[in-house]
């Protein structure tokens, strides 16, 4: 019987190293619960742990799909990063070489490395950075590390705020309502209840909200939740 993971062969576009990296079989994923910030609790394997590809030789890192699209000829800062990394001692906290399931700590380090690499890209997309931080939020949540989750959530919220301000490539499934809703939900989870209410109110006033029925349902539910939380909060 096949396990939940399989190994994909790749060649690094920066240093030429050939290596294998784990991928999750889609058929192995079973969602047990969905969270209001779009993450999911899975039965068995956690796909967020395996969302990042890291070259074991030069440490260039990116989301799995993004790694295979990078054109090294157009990324001089990443090429320099690759060159410098090859001259340093090997990292020991990234699960390299792969020898079993990644721990939460290893998965976070791989995501943080992907964040650092993405910031070196010629065109650093705010939405890509926001998504990486949101993955880190979910990984720490699953690991039962609320303080680390909150720190990552601060980074994710800030990144989504920049993403929304630039607003040039909002995801089709979320659109403007979904991104603003997510900013509100992250604010609510961070205890910034009045800010969350303002974000939710902004979503409810958007003319195109009906084009995103899943977002409309979520924002109406969470508006009631945040109102109750504000009313229950200590006065003073």
List pLDDT tens digits, range 36-83. Answer: 999 999 999 999 999 999 999 999 999 999 999 999 999 999 999 999
Asked whether residue 87 is assigned to any structural domain, the reply reads yes
Domain range enclosing 103: 5-124
Query: Of the candidates 67, 100, 124, which is a domain's last residue?
Result: 124
Burial class (CB in 10 A: 0-12, 13-18, 19+), 205: exposed
Q: Measured between alpha carbons, how far is 170 from 191 in angstroms, rounded to an integer? A: 26
Q: Quote the DSSP letter at residue 162.
A: H
DSSP 154-192: HHHHHHHHHHHHH-SS--TTTHHHHHHHHHHHHHHHTT-
Asked whether residue 144 is assigned to any structural domain, the reply reads no
For residues 118 and 191, state if they share a domain.
Answer: no
Q: What are residue 207's phi and psi, to 5 degrees?
A: -65, -30
Average pLDDT, the chain: 94
List, for residues 23-42, the tens digit of each pLDDT value. 999 888 999 999 999 999 99
Asked whether residue 174 is assigned to any structural domain, the reply reads yes
- pTM of the full structure: 0.95
């Amino acid at each position: 019987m096949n396990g939940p993971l399989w190994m994909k062969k790749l060649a690094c576009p920066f240093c030429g190293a050939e290596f294998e990296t784990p991928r999750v079989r889609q058929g192995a994923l079973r969602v047990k619960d969905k969270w209001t910030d779009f993450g999911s609790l899975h039965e068995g394997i956690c796909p967020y742990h395996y969302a990042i590809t890291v070259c074991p030789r030069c440490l260039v890192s990116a989301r799995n799909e993004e790694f295979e699209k990078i054109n090294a000829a157009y990324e001089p800062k990443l090429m320099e990063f690759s060159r410098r990394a090859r001259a340093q001692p090997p990292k020991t906290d990234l699960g390299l070489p792969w020898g079993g399931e990644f721990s939460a700590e290893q998965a976070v380090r791989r995501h943080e490395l992907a964040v650092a690499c993405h910031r070196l890209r010629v065109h650093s997309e705010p939405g890509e950075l926001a998504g990486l931080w949101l993955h880190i939020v979910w990984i720490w949540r699953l690991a039962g590390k609320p303080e680390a989750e909150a720190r990552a959530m601060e980074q994710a919220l800030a990144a989504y705020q920049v993403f929304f301000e630039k607003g040039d490539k909002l995801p089709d499934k979320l659109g403007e309502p979904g991104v603003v809703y997510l900013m509100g939900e992250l604010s609510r989870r961070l205890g910034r209840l009045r800010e969350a209410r303002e974000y939710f109110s902004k979503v409810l006033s958007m003319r195109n909200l009906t084009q995103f029925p899943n977002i409309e349902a979520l924002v109406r539910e969470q508006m009631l939740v945040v109102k109750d939380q504000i009313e229950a909060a200590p006065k003073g």
